[in-house]
Amino acid sequence: MFDTGNTAFMLVASSLVMLMTPGLAFFYGGLVGRKNVLTIMIQSFVSMGVTTIIWWAYGYSLCFSGGDGGIIGNLDKAFLRGITLNTMCPFGNGNIPEFVFMAYQMMFAIITPALITGAFSNRIRFGAYLAFLVAWLTFVYFPFVHMVWGNGLLAKLGVLDFAGGIVVHNIAGMAALASVLYVGRRKAKDSVPHSIPLVALGTGLLWFGWYGFNAGSELKVDAITGLAFLNTDIAASFAGPTWLLLAWIFEKKPKFLGLLTGAVAGLATITPCAGYVTPTSAAIIGILAGAVCYIAVNLKNFLKWDDALDVWGVHGVGGAIGIVLLGVLADKGVNAAGADGLLKGNSGFFTMQVFTVVASSIYAFGFTYVMLKIINVFTRVRTTADEEERGLDTSLHGETAYDENQLVVSIQERGQSL
């Protein structure tokens, strides 16, 4: 018998996670220059369509059917075969329809490859990105979903990831770093960010949606749902001001962009821990997220890696330290379905969490780099210098976000009126 309350909650949580992808488009759109706004935004929005098709055709099945204790599932549920209106979700004990669980997990699949796009903004051709989207989901994202959440290999080894530190943020961040190193630096550096208010709007939507991302991962409404919700907010609220303070100290200005970026770093870092740690631990995680991710971004700048929108420094590093901190701070007294961490004397769990971070990082980085080389054989990955100079909105998509001529006329008319 389905639980109508849990089902309704999971539909709301699915909607919140769906909202994160447009939020990401606004976040990234504000960070790039005026000539590349639509290009970065379409890369997020197209994932909503293409990933849904893949998820329905075979992605859900590869993640959540067969392959018990293995690396990847099978095709038993391809095209949702065998799933009816009365089929119960086989995961968790929230008594929700499997259709609802399928939709909820689909929203995760949509946003994960979209996260990567911020790293190679202004440099990737659209056709190559579509090929990247399909291949990366199939050979990187789906195996890790199965291994961690689909009762696969890592789940059998005792690895925990409440809402996507490994499955979403770490592997996306490492794929972003591989993409940056493969495509190289931008030839035409535009003025970024072009609209911090747009970044703020995107941050608000992401933060709002993250409640569904983390709290919804309990798959039902109980005390752990409330804990995950609270921990999400606490971590982001500590991480943002931590980044702001560090920027104030070292850059001599309290920067709004730093506050926004720090909050997102906190959200990414608490994700794997949200339902397994205390609120006090969430505050510690938030502070460390703001500090470590700030250092990572500055290290990236020092090494001259052209990760345009700091995907590696925020999501890759944030996801990794979240998984490691879970290995330290996890508390079965909080969630009996979790584990005790290093501070509770469980060194084995901590070791497994660290091992998983290392292994997932190596695989995601290595496969992504090789995959881009293969894609480049069939269709050119990197844009030309002329395309970059003109801006990808015009050169690739034939559209512009802003009417520059009208803007000039408006400025002239205003000057004449004064």
Bond before 193 cis per omega within 30 degrees = yes
- pTM, full prediction: 0.94
- pLDDT at 410 (0 to 100): 54
3-state secondary structure 8-47: HHHHHHHHHHHHHHHHHHHHHHHHCCHHHHHHHHHHHHHH
> What residue ranges of the chain have pLDDT lower than 70?
190-191, 404-418
- pLDDT at 415 (0 to 100): 59
* Distances, alpha carbon 223 to alpha carbons 61, 120, 266, 387, in Å: 30, 40, 22, 53
Condensed to tens digits (0 to 9), the pLDDT of residues 50-66 reads 999 999 999 999 999 99
* Distances, alpha carbon 201 to alpha carbons 29, 45, 133, 195, 236, in Å: 10, 16, 26, 10, 16
The architecture that CATH gives domain 4-397 is Orthogonal Bundle (1.10)
> Whole-angstrom Cα distance, residue 340 to residue 66?
29
Condensed to tens digits (0 to 9), the pLDDT of residues 340-383 reads 999 999 999 999 999 999 999 999 999 999 999 999 999 999 99
> Whole-angstrom Cα distance, residue 96 to residue 415?
62
As given in the structure block, the two tokens for residue 354 are: 């660290």
Find, among 377, 401, 344, 325, the residue nearest to 162 by Cα.
325
- pLDDT at 191 (0 to 100): 64
Residue 372 near residue 381, CB atoms below 8 Å: yes
- pLDDT at 180 (0 to 100): 95
> Whole-angstrom Cα distance, residue 261 to residue 314?
8
